[in-house]
Chain A
Amino acid sequence: MQPTIEVEITVNGVAVKRTIPARQHLVDFLRDELELTGTHLGCEQGVCGACTVLLDGQVVRGCLVLGAQAHGKTVETVEGLSDRGALRELQAEFARRNAAQCGYCTPGMLLTAQELLARNEPMTRDQIRQFMSGNFCRCTGYHAIIAAIAQVLADRLAQPANG
């Protein structure tokens, strides 16, 4: 039999305790065990970015991290971030500019964009393009995605708190 391991992970703010196959990847744990199907699998080799999630606040590839490696850590997915409104501006701007088509890459795009925004630094369109280059989209041509992120970033930097 496949060896198993017990893990305790805080997922979207909820503590979860499970016995999982030791070889199970974090993305499979989220999708298969917790039915958090908003995180997608595109390449299973860490190239496409569709499985992007936050592990202790850092963007990681859910297909390159084992579920066991998330033991004792916090994980956030598109579902949790959506529910607590963290992605609201990005989601609104993506919708307004049609920066998503089939939607398969979209959760990963949003999470990577969220990390970009968290830096709270001015970036040129080219810099945003480079930052987002680890997330593959086959539908949109990227133009609207970059424009949407640039808009949210500009709006945030223009807020008085950012003086």
Chain B
Amino acid sequence: MNEADRETLIGKRMPRKELQRLLRGRGRYIADIRLPRMLHLAFVRSPHAHAGIRAVDLGAARGSPGVERIFTGAEVAQICRPLHGVARHRRGHKSALQPAMAVDRAVWQGQPVVAVLAQSRAEAEDAAELVKIEWEELPAILDAEAALARGAAPVHPELGDNLAFEHAIVENAPDRAFAEAAVVVEHEFIIERQTALSLEPRGLIADYDPGGETLTVYHSHQSPFQMQDVFSAHLGIPEHKVRVIAPDIGGGFGMKLNVYGEELAVAAISKLVGRPVKFLADRLESFLSDAHARDHKIKARMAVSAEGRITAMEVDDLAAVGAYGMPLRFNVAEGMMAITMAGAVYDFASYRARTRNAYVNKNLIGMYRGVGIPLACLVTEVLADFAADKLGIDPVAFRKQNYRKKESLPCTTPGGSRLTSVSFEACLDKLVLGMDYEKLRREQRDLRGRGVYRGLGIAAFIEATAYGPPYYGPSEARISVQDGCTIRLEPSGLVRCVTSITDQGQGTLTGLAQIIAETIGVGVDDVEMLGGDSAISTYGGGAWASRGMAVGGEAALKAARALRRNILGLAGAIAQTPPDDLEIARGQIVNKLTAAPVISLADASKIGYFRQDTLPADFDVQMSVTMSHVDNHRHYYMANGVQASYLELDPDTGFIRLLEHWAVDDCGRVINPLLVDEQIRGGVVQGIGAVLFEEFIYSDRGSLLNGTMADYIAPTAGDMPDIHVAHVETPETATLLGAKGVGEAGLIGAMGALWVAVNDALKPLGARISHQPFTPERILEAIAAGRG
């Protein structure tokens, strides 16, 4: 048969299959699910950043209409083992034990203290207002410097001090490199605390059945398997009796990957009452208790030779990581990624870096898109631009002459990142061409003569995707880095796939369907996908670290190939033809040599399921195949990209207008460019939000002052530029599929590009900015400081 008869689906722009449902309002999110006898839970949260709980009076609340039960943290703690977010392999990493709810002391504002169960959420909230707690407010530690100052009171006395973790890297005599450098540039980077802000808040329905002693949890979470393990371990329910189902999820962005004490409490309370319990955070609760991110102060330097060669970098990171170590995912991740990936795109040998993480009386820092990689990117690229400027070299030329070249691969950077198949130059070339760099620079120069301040910023990055066993394995965190699926040929010749991958809107399930359909030889609509149920698929990780397509796709490819072999074997037995002479195309089994139709998939499948009596006695029919994928020794599949931001800054008001944004990404083989492009654009806008708008503001006693969407500013359509996306494809060599992850690239590169662009716009004013987000006030302060 002609190869062209097989439909090529991998690499095709195809709309998402799930969208038809979501576009009609037929999504099924946690808020939409009701179970019989379900109760609603509302938390009473600590109004103080740090306070002792002297007494709790539940009398008035118990009498409130609709109230069923009320639980304190101490009652929940009796049946729920505390969390302990410590990475075993990180020497010196420490955390206090975290109870599911505060027991005798609250250590951040928003920590849950009392849980009220009622017939409706409104009644639970009414009763929660009647709970009387006698507080003893204690001094709160609110920033990393104060936390690590000599004599600072520890957030947790049992730890002795507030240093959660410290790690240093010294490679190839950095002091000498700095001493010998022709040019040294340095800068400070303050990155305020923010959050992921999924539009659907966190939520879950925990349903403990005392009869079967089973726990079923409908959970707005990215990793049902991780939570199956957590609920089992902390509530003492055997793992095979815990089932976690992730229905439609209204955005996750890493934030819904974390382990939350209060979500554990919901499951514990369901076990205590033997009924389904629903908890859905409202927006204020989301701001207070969804994992926070960032909160870093970084000082960094770069050494450059007279010829414009980068010779060394130095990065000193200090982060405030909240009141406890984030369970399973750890609060060391942002700092460690920042210092291991800073400078990774540039070819230099000497490096010194340090990260220090401090406990403070604030909400926990956890996973959020990009983790520490955007910090690595923006620090490196701001310094690169400063160095190029000081040497009078064009920023693009400076970058090109310093990038790690293809010929130097594979290599390990001085920070410890392994680069195998990256493409810095190819991406930059494509970017410069696509944006018409020279024209924009001319325009920028011309406009400066007329008092218009435009900035152009370029930032390259690496994106470590699909983390493998060497990353989490030694930490002893029970996190699955393998993913897999079962593919079943239905008796009608159609295909069903159940995968361990979860999809929060990325479109991964459609991408997997494309891989399966092309590999087997059916149409993409002939494949139906299901994910997000810990009881019915292979064990797996779900959605984190941009793994869905790279790992889940590889598993799907392997399983689809195996099922295709089985189908051809069956067809061969039916037609008494060697299976190697057969092929499947568009749902038909045909003879490869003559192109003659042999049998339809539906007819073959019918025989495979219902007429085995017509097959040879010893023919083994296998119409379902299960496969998983994991790379035992690989740390990650390293993707890369480059972005550019063009913007205009008003020096009188401090306002920034974004004009245009470009992204060229190399995530290996692109399975569906439509979905990948939109992933990147969404990430870019989150990166823009971080750099220009998003920050938590606290009172001097640690109270969050901007816990509404009117006060916590995030990007809306009117603020955003058009975003142009292009690709370079350097396939991952470790897999058959060749895909790498792409989920975080948009955010990582956008933060870097905006930091560079805004500083570029400020350059003629003699100003530099170092404090994110770049609010108009901070822009004006930077301009004033530049004049001073």
Contacts and interface: CB of A to CB of B under 8 A. Distances in A.
B282 A135 contact: no
Contacts of B723: 141, 143
A94 B199 contact: no
B249 A43 contact: no
Contact of A138 (B19, B29, B199, B674): B199
A62 to B, nearest CB: 13
Interface in A108-145: 110, 125, 128-130, 132-145
A26 interface: no
Contact of A47 (B198, B282, B675, B710): B710
Contacts of B153: none
Contacts of B682: 101, 138-141
A141 B19 contact: no
Contacts of A36: 25
Contacts of A132: 716-718
A157 B716 CA distance: 26
Interface residues of B, number: 58
A50 B253 CA distance: 18
A107 B32 CA distance: 14
A137 B57 CA distance: 41
A140 B24 contact: no
B23 A140 contact: no
B477 to A, nearest CB: 27
Interface stretch (B99-107, B499-507, B770-778): B499-507
Nearest to B120: A32
A138 B718 contact: no
Contact of B23 (A110, A134, A139): A110
Given A1-B65, A43-B708, A138-B686, A100 B22 contact: yes
A139 to B, nearest CB: 5
A102 B19 contact: no
A87 B675 CA distance: 22
A102 B250 contact: yes
B18 to A, nearest CB: 8
Interface stretch (A3-11, A64-72, A74-82): A74-82
A125 B19 contact: no
Nearest to B196: A138
B200 interface: yes
Contacts of B505: 100-103, 139
B25 A77 contact: yes
B683 interface: yes
Contacts of A133: 716-719
A100 B19 contact: yes
Nearest to A110: B23
B599 interface: no
Contacts of A162: none
B25 A45 contact: no
A79 B506 contact: no
Interface in B549-594: none
B681 interface: yes
Contact of A134 (B25, B506, B708, B716): B716
Contact of A141 (B28, B506, B718, B746): B746
A135 B715 CA distance: 10
B172 interface: no
A48 B709 contact: yes
B722 A50 contact: no
B348 to A, nearest CB: 34
A145 to B, nearest CB: 7
B169 interface: no
Contacts of B200: 40, 42, 102, 104
Contact of B31 (A41, A101, A129, A143): A41
B283 interface: yes
B15 A96 contact: yes
B597 interface: no
B25 A37 contact: yes
A27 to B, nearest CB: 11
A79 B681 contact: no
Interface in A10-66: 21, 23, 31, 36-45, 47-48, 50
B282 A44 contact: yes
Contacts of A153: none
B460 interface: no
Interface string B728-763: 000000000000000000100000000000000000
A100 B681 CA distance: 12
Contact of B19 (A41, A48, A98, A137): A98
A2 interface: yes
B716 A104 contact: no
Nearest to A142: B717
Contact of A45 (B19, B196, B506, B709): B709
A138 B200 CA distance: 10
B492 interface: no
A136 B199 contact: yes
A78 to B, nearest CB: 4
Residue from A94, A99, A106, A138 with most neighbouring chain B CB atoms (10 Å): A138
B283 A45 contact: yes
A41 to B, nearest CB: 7
Given A133-B717, A140-B678, A141-B678, A91 B24 contact: yes
Contacts of B23: 82, 87, 91, 94-95, 100, 103, 106, 110
A31 B120 CA distance: 13
Contacts of B201: 42
Interface string B402-426: 0000000000000000000000000
Contacts of A129: 717-718, 720
Contacts of A97: 674
Contacts of A135: 716-717
Given A2-B65, A101-B507, A101-B678, A146 B251 contact: no
B199 A48 contact: yes
Contact of B25 (A1, A38, A48, A95): A38
A11 to B, nearest CB: 13
Contact of B20 (A38, A95, A99, A146): A95
Given A142-B720, A145-B717, A31 B678 contact: no
B630 interface: no
B685 interface: yes
Nearest to B504: A102
A160 B251 CA distance: 41
A7 to B, nearest CB: 17
B178 to A, nearest CB: 40
A2 B219 CA distance: 31
Given A2-B65, A47-B708, A106 B720 contact: no
B701 interface: no
A94 B24 CA distance: 11
B287 to A, nearest CB: 10
A130 B25 contact: no
Nearest to A78: B25
B709 A141 contact: no
A136 B25 contact: no
Contacts of B198: 102, 104, 138
Contacts of A101: 251, 504-507, 678, 682
A23 to B, nearest CB: 8
Interface in B201-228: 201
Nearest to A103: B22
Nearest to A96: B15
24 contacts: A23-B122, A37-B29, A41-B31, A43-B709, A45-B283, A48-B199, A82-B23, A87-B23, A91-B20, A95-B19, A99-B678, A100-B19, A101-B678, A103-B250, A104-B27, A106-B25, A106-B27, A107-B25, A129-B717, A133-B716, A133-B719, A135-B716, A138-B714, A140-B678
Given A140-B681, A142-B716, 8 more contacts: A42-B201, A78-B25, A101-B251, A102-B505, A103-B22, A138-B199, A138-B253, A139-B251
> Which A-B residue pairs are the 7 nearest by beta carbons?
A38-B25, A103-B22, A101-B505, A104-B250, A141-B681, A102-B505, A78-B25
Interface of A: 1-2, 21, 23, 31, 36-45, 47-48, 50, 77-79, 82, 87, 91, 94-107, 110, 125, 128-130, 132-146
